């Protein structure tokens, strides 16, 4: 059918996104199963589901019907709710769509098709080193397919059909482009997720989805440990002044006296304000004398705070926000100088919003982010894009790197000086981990059966066994270096202290000249996180 006269509204877009979320509810576990590496953090599907859930919930509650504002709300929600690398990439697709449909009441199928292409471009640009055979390869194929469909003036439903067809064609090629996929006999998980997203959009648009309605009150996330949040400025107030009759400098001068965590963003004849204050009404009464107020949002941070934040009565010049996968590790990070610790790690990648909330707590003027997990680095980089020079990301890929960096953190020195010193410290860390294989797999020509203990270094399985002592000894041997002196074992929540001490003793028999230390890490899925220095 031709697209002549077809117009897509904001309500159509809402149906598409909610349809995509419903589809993901049924498909995310299968997408998770496509992850090649057999460790418990193969959560591509879950990360995309949770990111999409943040968007779907925001749109379901949105009063807007114009497609421009609806897609803008979707993009904002996706960016704040993005989890893991796959979630950040999906959020960039929403961002590109919103950019392509900005200011529109409705959109032709051609316009929205082009906007989806724009979204794919944003996704590709989000990754500094794109790898062929991944979600980005599938995204490129989808962009080409939609470009052909748009030129042929098809209906938007037909454009989505062509996008899915083109994506599946590219997805089938991913094992040939990435040997690790071919070895495991699977296609790329992120690429499959992108196709599920588009297929779900089509079901939502056509109204063909027959499953149960999504329950947005049911949480799929692991709750972060909650603490009491106490501040003299408990109300987070955000609004836009458009048009604004007052210069930015004057706005800052007035608002600086009324609270903290002030951010003033300047746009085309508009200002976007973010401030923490004790009296939001007074802030708004002053602001209304400067122009018309829009998108007013006031939140009580005591109700929303979900982080484990070390208390400090005074605002610091510089602090560290560090991600910890367990209670014990979080405690160690705070003792080493981390001002804010966010719960997260394997299978529980924190969203962008968690970092933004932590920054908006107003604890410091500048922040260094330690992701401590390769799948959280892109999330942290997204935070830096939102916040700017106030934030720097030290791309720590594991917990021992994060702990080593904290050991040389000096809060009274400059952020850049700390970044250089902390980054230099990472090279001295040799880290590994012990967990249980969650699926049968073939990685780097090593067959691993589900249920066996495995030793891992980065993305490599270097040992497997049915015996925990054996796997611990073999894994430590794999990262042992000349002149090393200390072996640190951070044991997980499923191990008792006496068991960890017994295993430490077994390791001491093998390395009698080393200092071996065992600490409670509390991580839920890894028996041990290990470092050798």
Parse the chain into domains and list their residue ranges: 7-206, 235-304, 308-426, 430-532
In this prediction the pTM is 0.68
Q: Which of 17, 89, 93 is nearest to 53 (CA)?
A: 17
Q: Which CATH number fits domain 308-426: 3.40.50.510, 3.60.10.10, 3.40.50.980, 3.30.590.10?
A: 3.40.50.510
Region 443-462: what's the mean pLDDT?
86
pLDDT of residue 479: 93
Q: What is the pLDDT of residues 359-389, one digit of tens each?
A: 877 788 999 999 999 989 989 998 888 888 8
- Can you give the length of the chain in residues? 533
Beta pairing partners, 319: 367
Domain 430-532 CATH (choose: 3.30.1180.10, 2.40.50.140, 3.40.50.620, 3.40.50.1370): 3.30.1180.10
State the pLDDT at residue 41: 61
- Between 160-174, 299-313, 485-499, the lowest mean confidence (pLDDT) is in 299-313
- With both helix axes pointing from N to C terminus, report the angle between 67-81 and 44-60 in degrees, rounded to the nearest 10: 140
Element (H, E) at 477: helix 468-479
Amino acid 300: pLDDT = 64
What is the number of H-type helices and E-type strands within the chain?
19, 19
Q: Give 311's pLDDT tier (boundaries 50, 70, 90).
A: very low
Classify the C-alpha dihedral 335-81-145-33 as positive or negative: positive
Nearest C-alpha neighbor of 157 from the set 102, 90, 203, 188: 203
- Residues 459, 506: contact at Cβ < 8 Å? no
Banded model confidence at residue 218, pLDDT cuts 50, 70, 90: very low
The angle, 0 to 180 degrees and rounded to 10, between the axes of the packed helices 189-206 and 44-60 is 30
Is pLDDT of 183 > 80?
no
Within 10 A of 213 (CB to CB), how many other CB atoms are there?
8
> pLDDT, tens digit, for every residue of 95-116?
999 999 998 999 988 888 888 8
State how far the Cα of 323 lies from the Cα of 184, in Å rounded to an integer.
31
The mean pLDDT value for 397-403 works out to: 94
Chain mean position to CA 480: 32
**CA torsion, ordered 287, 291, 296, 301, to nearest 10 deg:** -20
The highest-level CATH class for domain 235-304 is alpha beta
The CATH class that applies to domain 7-206 reads mainly alpha
Per residue in 23-78, pLDDT (tens digit) is: 888 888 888 888 777 666 667 888 898 899 889 888 887 787 899 999 999 998 88
The closest of 498, 306, 439, 406 to 32, measured between CA atoms, is 439
**Which 3 state secondary structure label does DSSP give 137?**
helix
Tokens 């090629």, residue located: 173
- The total of other beta-carbon atoms located within 10 Å of residue 247's CB is 12
Q: Are 31 and 192 in contact (CB under 8 A)?
A: yes
Residues β-bridged to residue 368: 320, 392
d(CA 215, CA 12): 20
pLDDT digits (tens, 9 = 90+) for 248-283: 778 878 887 787 666 665 555 677 776 777 777 888
Q: Specify whether the CB–CB gap between 113 and 149 falls below 8 A.
A: yes
Average pLDDT rounded to a whole number, residues 109-130: 80
Residue whose entry in the numeric block shows the structure tokens 């836009």: 240
In terms of pLDDT, which residue wins out, 184 or 260?
Answer: 184
Mean pLDDT of 424-433: 91
pLDDT tens digits, 332-347: 999 888 999 998 876 6
Q: Which residue has the tokens 């001295």?
A: 428
Confidence of residue 530 (pLDDT cuts 50, 70, 90): very high
Choice among 207-216, 379-388, 398-407, 450-459 with the minimum mean pLDDT: 207-216
- First and final CA of the chain: distance in angstroms? 66
Q: Please give the Cα distance from 152 to 162 (Å, whole number).
A: 11
pLDDT of amino acid 347: 62
Distance CA 138, CA 136 (A): 5
Residue 324 pLDDT greater than 80, yes or no: yes
Cα separation, 363 vs 321, whole angstroms: 10
Give me the helix-helix angle, 135-151 and 84-100, nearest 10°: 20
**pLDDT for res 232:** 53
Q: Is 103 left (phi over 0), alpha (psi -120 to 50) or beta?
A: left
Question: How high is the pLDDT of residue 370?
Answer: 96
**By the 8 A CB rule, do 74 and 97 touch?**
yes
Mean pLDDT of the chain: 83
Q: What is the pLDDT of residues 507-516, one digit of tens each?
A: 999 999 998 9
Contact 274, 238 (CB under 8 A): yes
Q: What percent of the chain has pLDDT over 70?
A: 86
- Give me the pLDDT at residue 136, please: 83
> Which of 458-477 are b and which e, b meaning 16 or more Cβ less than 10 Å from the residue's Cβ?
eeebbbbbeebeebbbbbbe
Predicted confidence (pLDDT) at residue 223 exceeds the cutoff of 70? no
Output the pLDDT for position 228: 34
Q: What is the share, in percent, of the chain residues with pLDDT greater than 90?
A: 32
Q: For residues 527 and 433, what is the distance between their CA atoms, to the nearest angstrom?
A: 8
């Amino acid at each position: 059918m031709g697209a002549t006269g077809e117009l897509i509204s904001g309500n159509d877009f809402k149906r598409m996104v909610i349809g995509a979320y419903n589809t993901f509810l049924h498909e995310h576990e299968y997408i998770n199963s496509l992850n090649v590496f057999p460790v418990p953090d193969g959560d591509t599907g879950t990360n995309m589901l949770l990111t999409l859930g943040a968007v779907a919930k925001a749109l379901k509650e949105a009063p807007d019907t114009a497609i421009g504002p609806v897609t803008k709300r979707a993009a904002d929600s996706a960016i704040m709710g993005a989890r893991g690398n796959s979630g950040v990439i999906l959020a960039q697709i929403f961002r590109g769509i919103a950019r392509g449909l900005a200011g529109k009441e409705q959109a032709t199928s051609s316009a929205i098709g082009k906007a989806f292409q724009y979204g794919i471009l944003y996704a590709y640009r989000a990754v500094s080193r794109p790898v062929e055979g991944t979600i980005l390869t599938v995204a490129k194929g989808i962009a080409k397919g939609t470009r052909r469909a748009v030129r042929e003036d098809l209906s938007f439903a037909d454009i989505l059909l062509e996008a899915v067809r083109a994506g599946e064609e590219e997805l089938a090629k991913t094992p040939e482009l990435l040997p690790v996929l071919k070895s495991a006999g699977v296609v790329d998980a992120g690429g499959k997720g992108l196709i599920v997203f588009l297929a779900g959009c089509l079901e939502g648009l056509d109204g063909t989805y027959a499953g149960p309605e999504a329950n947005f009150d049911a949480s799929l996330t692991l709750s972060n440990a909650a603490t009491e949040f106490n501040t003299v400025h408990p109300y987070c107030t955000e609004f836009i002044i458009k048009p604004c009759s007052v210069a930015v400098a004057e706005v800052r001068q007035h608002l600086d006296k009324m609270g903290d965590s002030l951010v003033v963003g300047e746009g085309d004849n508009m200002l976007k304000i973010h401030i923490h204050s004790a009296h939001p009404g007074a802030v708004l009464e002053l602001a209304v004398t400067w122009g018309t107020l829009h998108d007013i949002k006031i939140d009580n941070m005591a109700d929303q705070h979900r982080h484990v934040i070390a208390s400090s009565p005074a605002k610091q010049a510089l602090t560290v926000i560090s991600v910890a996968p367990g209670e014990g590790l979080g405690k160690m990070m705070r003792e080493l100088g981390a001002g804010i610790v966010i719960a997260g790690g394997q299978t529980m990648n924190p969203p962008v919003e968690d970092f933004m909330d932590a920054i908006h707590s107003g604890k410091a003027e500048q922040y260094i982010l330690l992701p401590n997990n390769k799948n959280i680095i892109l999330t942290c980089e997204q935070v830096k894009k939102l916040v700017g020079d106030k934030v720097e990301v030290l791309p720590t890929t594991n917990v021992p790197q994060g702990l080593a960096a904290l050991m040389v953190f000096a809060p009274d020195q400059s952020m850049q000086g700390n970044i250089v010193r902390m980054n230099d410290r990472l090279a001295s860390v040799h880290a590994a981990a012990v967990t249980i294989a969650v699926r049968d797999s073939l990685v780097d020509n090593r067959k691993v059966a589900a249920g066996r203990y495995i030793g891992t270094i980065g993305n490599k399985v270097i040992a497997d066994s049915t015996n925990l002592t054996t796997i611990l000894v073999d894994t430590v041997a794999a990262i042992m270096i000349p002149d090393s002196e200390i072996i640190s074992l951070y044991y997980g929540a499923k191990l008792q202290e006496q068991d960890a001490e017994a295993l430490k003793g077994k390791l001491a028999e093998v390395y009698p000249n080393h200092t071996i230390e065992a600490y409670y890490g509390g991580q839920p899925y890894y028996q041990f996180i290990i470092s050798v220095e």
